[in-house]
Each structure stands twice: as C-alpha cells, then as structure tokens.
Amino acid sequence: MARQANAAAARKTAPAADGEPRRKSPKTGVAKADRAPDGEAEARGAGKVVGAVVGAIKILRYLAAAGEPVGVSRIAKDTKLNTSTTFNILRTLMAHDFVQFEPLSKTYQLSLGIMEIARAATAVGGDISSVFPLMERIAQKHGVTVTLWQPVGKDRKVLIMAAHTRNAMRIQMAVGQRLPLLLGATGRLFAAYSDMSKDEIKRQFSAIRWNNPLTFKDFMAQCAEAKARGYAVDEGNFAVGTVLLSVPILDRDGHASMAVTANMFAGQYGPERAHGIVGDLQAFAEQVSKILQS
C-alpha cells in the first residue's frame, strides 16, 4: 500500500519529457508542463503582468507629464495607486536615479538618469549622440533652438535632444518633455509620414489645445504640403510669436521615426532665411537616418 502511494506521488511530481515540472490544469485536472511563454506568445502579450512594474511606469509617465515636482499623496491619487505602494516605488526609482527627491518641499520629479535609457532607445542602429555637435552648429549658425523629437506610444512624442543658441533671448526646451504627437510642425510630419487613418488623425487633432487654433481641414492641407516639399512649418499655432521648421527623419519604410525642428521667434523668420535653415536640417536628418539604418 505504501509502495502504491509512493508511486502515485512520484507520478504527480514527475518532470515532463523536456525536464520541466508538471502541474494540473485547474479546468481539466490533466498534468501539463509549466513552461514560460514562447516568443510568439510574448509578442501577443501573454504572460503575467507585474503590478509593481506597471505602477512604476504609471508614475514615470505621470511625472513626465506633470512638468513640476509632485508630492506622494497627489501622485498616488492621480495614478490611482496605493499611497504606500507609490512611496516604495518612488524610493526604488530614486535609488536607481530615475527620480529625484526635493527634501524641502517633499516632492519628486524625474531625474536625468532616465535619459540614459531614452538615448539608448533612440540609437537602435547606432549612437545618435554623435550628431549632437551638428545640432549645436545649426543652433549657433542660425540663432535658433534645435530640437530632436521621437514618437512614444501612438499619440505622444518626447524631446530627446535640444541644442540652444547662445543668444540672450532664446526659446528654451527641456529634454524629456512629452507633448501630443500631432502638435507643432513635427505633428504635421508624424501625420504625413505615417499609416494613420484620417479618423485617427482627426481624433488626436481634436484632443490638442492649440495656442492659436486652426481647423482640421487646414491641418490636413498643411500635412499634404509638408510631405510634398519635405518639411513642415508651424506659424504660431504651437505658441503665438514663434515659428517652427521641421524636417522628418525617415526609416526604411518611409515613416517619420523622428523629426528635427528649428524653433525661432516670429521676427527671425523669413523665406530666404528659412531656406538655409531647412537645408541644414535636411542634411542633419540624412545623417541621423543613416545611423539608425546602419
């Protein structure tokens, strides 16, 4: 009898043919191998979602959108996370230099440590940090702020590099900031050089709070014009008193994987001057495209 019990126990814990332990299916009771999902399953989103990781992502995205230091209670409330969980996640992120703590105000904000990951993500085919000196030369030559934007998700973009002119009066842009994908001159490019449907473009366009609004019809016409000439212009729609010139950085499929922009005050803008700036931006875009495709 004892011998039969031992044999039954051995069958319950016996490994599968591939060496993986067996477990019983909760529905059928049939034993099967307990193995990790394969690559195809992972691509479909199979597997367990780790709550702590989801919480950390929520907090990082929240802080990126906040644009100012925020306290634990407000972060927890706005992200709908438990206060204790929020505190522990923030402390962990702080230990890894993704978040920094302001002792006087007892608030948190993103740390520059997160930019290491952002830069690495942009350099899929090569190190694009090598082109930053070229951005600086364009900024100094034309007296403008040069910014490099990359889409994140389906309706946002992030500023991954910025080169500022030494002029006393200049447009200051903070690396790491996230904006609606279709906002500004880059928005025309990300719409024009994409597979987005007209309905999806309209949905995203309608959600944007333009500083100087334009109609969706005008926006679509400007997208078509931008694709025809290879660059886009935003004259005061993003911010009154400014002009933005943007050039797309295309991937192998002809989609805009990034966009580079010259940000200037309206008084600096003129057709002849714009021609020279666009030429330099296009040369920069070609160089980055080669790096990404290498």
pLDDT of 41 strictly over 70: no
Task: Please indicate whether residue 52 or residue 182 has the higher confidence score (pLDDT).
Answer: 182
Q: What is the pLDDT of residues 108-155, one digit of tens each?
A: 988 877 766 765 655 544 567 788 999 999 999 999 999 999 998 889
pLDDT at site 35 = 41
- CA separation, residue 189 to residues 66, 151, 195, 280 (Å): 26, 11, 12, 17
CATH number of 51-111: 1.10.10.10
pLDDT at site 32 = 40
**So where are the chain's domains?**
51-111, 116-293
Instruction: Classify residue 213 as left (phi > 0), alpha (psi -120 to 50) or beta.
Output: beta
Residue type, 167: N
Percent pLDDT > 70 in the chain is: 79
Arch. (CATH architecture) of 116-293: 2-Layer Sandwich (3.30)
Q: What is the pLDDT of residues 64-88, one digit of tens each?
A: 888 789 999 999 999 999 999 999 9
Mean per-residue pLDDT for 43-69? 82
Length of the chain: 294
- Tell me if the pTM is above 0.85: no
Q: What is the pLDDT of residues 205-218, one digit of tens each?
A: 999 999 999 999 99
CA atoms of 5 and 180, how far apart (whole Å): 65
At 101, the pLDDT band (50, 70, 90 cuts) reads very high
How many other C-beta atoms are found inside a 10 Å radius of the C-beta of residue 90?
21
Percent pLDDT > 90 in the chain is: 60
- 23-27, 37-41, 149-153 — most confident range: 149-153
Q: Do domains 51-111 and 116-293 have the same CATH topology?
A: no
Report yes or no: 62 and 75 within 8 Å, Cβ to Cβ: yes
What would the 3-class secondary structure string for 59-121 be?
Answer: HHHHHHHHCCCECHHHHHHHHCCCHHHHHHHHHHHHHCCCEEEECCCCEEEECCCHHHHHHHH
pLDDT of 27 strictly over 60: no
